[in-house]
Amino acid sequence: MSEIKLMKGNEALAEAAIRVGADAYFGYPITPQSEVIEYLMSEKPEERTGMVVLQAESEVAAINMVYGAASTGKKVMTSSSSPGISLKLEGISYLAGAELPAVIVNVVRGGPGLGTIQPSQADYNQAVKGGGHGDYKLYVLAPASVQEMADFVEDAFDIAFKYRAPVMILSDGLIGQMMEKVSFKDQMERLSDKEIIKRYDDWAVTGKTERKRNIITSLDLQPEKMEARVGRLMDKYKRMEKEDLRFEKIECDDAEYLFVAYGSSARIAQKAVKLAREKGLKVGLLRPITLFPYPKQQLFELADQVKGILSVELNTGQMVEDVRLAVEHKVPVEHFGRTGGIIHTPEEVLEALEQKIINEHGRTRHHKTRESSIL
Amino acid sequence: MTEEIIIAGFGGQGVLSMGKILAYSGIMQDEEVSWMPSYGPEMRGGTANVTVILSDERISSPYLKVYDTAIILNQQSMDKFEESVKPGGVLIYEPNGIHHHPTRTDIDIYQIEANRIATEMGNKKIFNMVVLGAYLKIKPIVKLENVIEGLKKSLPERYHHLIPLNEEAIAKGTQSIVSYKVEKQVLS
């Protein structure tokens, strides 16, 4: 480990991209993630490691450059914020279909449309439920600190190459813009072309030699072949669920009530846990670190222990649907979150738990009606 | 120990960099730190604020509703953040340009005339370091030597010759902070 630095989340992510030996970054600036490309440009990674950093003419161009570079077995990354990710979705679907490894970073801002440049978690559904067209999923990592913005770059590339699949780091304006302590691993060497051929010769387009031709495409007009391809993708996602699920339990052992929150909301909810315990309320926090795969089984089991669950998200209620699916109506599940770029305070989060779960359901312990689950 | 601080004022007053130096000073003595700015168009000409937390524990929320200390450098920030100081907490403000002085009696209030001091020292840019010095008099949470180390870390090398001036500004701030009694305001 090297010296401790004070950095913004976006800068830490950019530095980590250089350190893990990424071959290329293609991007286009947008608030609140522009520090990623600003930092990469100012660090001159072409001098440090030979890494290519290019500002493309648009987000669409950037994601297609990612497709091209990933086809050759290179470690390649792009980043943007919400409206820019919408533009990249076609390319992301193609990456998934063509089974290419790549890392895509979304530093989420409020939407829909151009929305706001302030923090939001309103792209949960887009990240987790596909977003682009077709039967595919992204492995989604949700950092909750500047250190994780750095650490998850390496983790994301590991997963991307393990499964030959695009991986998303789903951050937000709060984690991207805040500064915290961060330390980095030592510089990893970029793979040589020889090493890439050795490792990925069975699929990557590295220049044909004696081997059979490798073709990168997401197109299969023969139904049986296409169904086999989709099946192969589903097998990967099942394996991700089995082998690469990540979550963190905070004060869950004796919890009677539970927050579920990821990313910036998890940090805020963690403080709400502390405030609750100061008041004598036994509250815990389940933080999904991966949003796909999702800690379904852990939630299912916690539902036997707690009296109610509040899903805390900077949106109008997206992840709460997955919490409800996991819990299977064993206990009441409600949502709380602010939008428009307003960030909920720990006090507000605790108040929401008291109002929506403890007071509302504490009296009757009955499941709520169908109507009340509609926003 | 956990100290939760909001620093708020105009863009250009050095609010964000003061927070950064404080955070760096915390790192120099092995504290956990977080620095959460307001960002976006409001930074240009409008108000700027930053939440800084120093703690010997892992920091949970970097975004807060109430603070141990509010450092307030313009009227808009006074209107917004006076109520956000925890009971028993500290409010430090620069009285220049403040029309409505604080009125709370359940917190400790101090004034620092950082504008005047910085002008007298011949460099208005060290305004924020005068304020930092004032703050450290009331809350000596970081040692001066660590602040100097923090300055070295956060200032580009080409500005390092200004560190003695910054040190002087911190000392002036430490000497010049005065307690403010709300009663006086009511009587006058």
Asked if B72 has any chain A CB less than 8 Å from its own CB, the reply is no
- How many beta-carbon contacts under 8 Å exist across A and B? 73
More confident: A302 or B39 = A302
d(CA A351, nearest CA chain B) in Å: 13
Q: What integer is the mean pLDDT of B64-93?
A: 97
* Nearest chain B residue to A183, by CA: B27
Same domain, A169 and A105: yes
Asked if B149 has any chain A CB less than 8 Å from its own CB, the reply is no
Cis previous bond, A293, omega within 30 = yes
Q: Do A343 and B34 touch (CB under 8 A)?
A: no
Same domain, A172 and A253: no
Q: Examine the pLDDT at A362 and tell me if it is beyond 70.
A: no
Tell me which residue in B33, B62, B65 faces A181 most closely, judged by beta carbons: B33
Q: Is B65 helix (H, G, I), strand (E, B) or coil?
A: coil
How much is the pLDDT for B41?
63
For residue B47, what pLDDT band results from cuts at 50, 70 and 90?
A: confident
Answer with the one of A193, A208, A227 that is the final residue of a domain.
Answer: A193
Same domain, A262 and A182: no
Q: Examine the pLDDT at B188 and tell me if it is beyond 50.
A: no
Token digits for A344?
């909920």
CATH number at residue A309: 3.40.50.920
- Residue given tokens 């200390």 in the structure block: B69
How much is the pLDDT for B95?
96
Q: Do B64 and A117 touch (CB under 8 A)?
A: no
The pLDDT > 70 percentage for chain B reads 94
Tell me which residue in B36, B40, B41 faces A178 most closely, judged by beta carbons: B36
Query: Which of A259-268, A354-363, B73-82, B126-135 has the lowest average pLDDT?
Result: A354-363
Q: Examine the pLDDT at A374 and tell me if it is beyond 70.
A: no
Q: Is A276 helix (H, G, I), strand (E, B) or coil?
A: helix
Query: Which of A41-45, A207-211, A212-216 has the lowest average pLDDT?
Result: A207-211
H helix and E strand count, chain B:
7, 7
For residue A31, what pLDDT band results from cuts at 50, 70 and 90?
A: very high
Q: What integer is the mean pLDDT of A237-241?
A: 98
Number of structural domains (chain A) is: 2
How much is the pLDDT for B40?
67
Q: What integer is the mean pLDDT of B4-11?
A: 95
Q: What integer is the mean pLDDT of A336-361?
A: 94
Asked if A265 has any chain B CB less than 8 Å from its own CB, the reply is no
In whole angstroms, give the CA distance from residue A257 to residue A275: 13
**A78 occurs within a structural domain:** yes
Q: Do B63 and A345 touch (CB under 8 A)?
A: yes
Same domain, A178 and A257: no
Tell me which residue in A174, A181, A270 faces B27 most closely, judged by beta carbons: A181
CATH number at residue A38: 3.40.50.970
**A13 occurs within a structural domain:** yes
Q: Is residue A9 a contact partner of residue A176, using CB atoms and an 8 Å limit?
A: yes
Q: What integer is the mean pLDDT of A20-28?
A: 98
Q: What integer is the mean pLDDT of A80-90?
A: 98
Sort out which chain A residues have CB atoms less than 8 A from B60's CB and list them: 267-268, 270-271, 273-274, 346
Answer with the one of A178, A193, A208 that is the final residue of a domain.
Answer: A193
**A98 occurs within a structural domain:** yes
What's chain A's average pLDDT? 95
Residues 6 or more apart in contact with residue A129 via CB below 8 angstroms: none
Same domain, A136 and A31: yes
Interface probe with A: pick from B22, B57, B63, most Cβ of A within 10 Å: B63
d(CA A345, nearest CA chain B) in Å: 6
d(CA B65, nearest CA chain A) in Å: 6
Asked if A271 has any chain B CB less than 8 Å from its own CB, the reply is yes
Tell me which residue in B33, B65, B154 faces A347 most closely, judged by beta carbons: B65
Cross-strand partners of B55? B2, B32
Same domain, A60 and A150: yes
**A362 occurs within a structural domain:** yes
Asked if A6 has any chain B CB less than 8 Å from its own CB, the reply is yes
What's chain B's average pLDDT? 92
In whole angstroms, give the CA distance from residue A184 to residue A43: 15
Neighbour-count burial of B7, counting CB atoms closer than 10 A to its CB (0-12 exposed, 13-18 middle, 19+ buried): buried
**A260 occurs within a structural domain:** yes
Cross-strand partners of A283? A257
State the DSSP string of A43-90.
H-HHHHT--EEEE-SSHHHHHHHHHHHHHTT--EEEEE-HHHHHHHHH
**A222 occurs within a structural domain:** no
What are the pLDDT digits (tens) for A125-149? 999 998 999 999 999 999 999 999 9
Same domain, A99 and A13: yes
Sort out which chain B residues have CB atoms less than 8 A from A110's CB and list them: none
Q: Do B27 and A4 touch (CB under 8 A)?
A: yes
Q: Examine the pLDDT at B90 and tell me if it is beyond 80.
A: yes
Interface probe with B: pick from A109, A180, A343, most Cβ of B within 10 Å: A180
Please give the domain boundaries of chain B with CATH numbers for all domains.
2-187 (3.40.920.10)
Q: What integer is the mean pLDDT of A191-203?
A: 95
Answer with the one of A193, A217, A237 that is the final residue of a domain.
Answer: A193
d(CA A274, nearest CA chain B) in Å: 9
Q: Examine the pLDDT at A1 and tell me if it is beyond 70.
A: no
Q: Examine the pLDDT at B185 and tell me if it is beyond 60.
A: no
How much is the pLDDT for A70?
98
How much is the pLDDT for B16?
93
Q: What integer is the mean pLDDT of B164-176?
A: 96
In whole angstroms, give the CA distance from residue A361 to residue A367: 8
**CA nearest A139: which of A242, A64, A59, A67?**
A242
Q: How far is CA A51 from the centre of its chain?
A: 24
**A231 occurs within a structural domain:** no
Q: Examine the pLDDT at A85 and tell me if it is beyond 60.
A: yes
Q: Do B24 and A6 touch (CB under 8 A)?
A: yes
Q: Do B35 and A32 touch (CB under 8 A)?
A: no
How much is the pLDDT for A41?
97
- Distance of CA B73 to CAs B7, B10, B77, B93, B128, Å? 8, 7, 7, 6, 10
Same domain, A185 and A267: no
Q: Examine the pLDDT at A373 and tell me if it is beyond 60.
A: no
Sort out which chain B residues have CB atoms less than 8 A from A271's CB and list them: 60-61, 64
Q: Do A178 and B34 touch (CB under 8 A)?
A: yes
How much is the pLDDT for B182?
87
Same domain, A186 and A37: yes
Q: Examine the pLDDT at A375 and tell me if it is beyond 50.
A: no
d(CA B184, nearest CA chain A) in Å: 34
Residue range of the domain that includes A53: 5-193
Identify the H or E element spanning B108. strand B108-111
Same domain, A188 and A254: no
**A218 occurs within a structural domain:** no
Interface probe with A: pick from B25, B38, B50, B61, most Cβ of A within 10 Å: B61
Q: What integer is the mean pLDDT of A103-115?
A: 97
Asked if B144 has any chain A CB less than 8 Å from its own CB, the reply is no
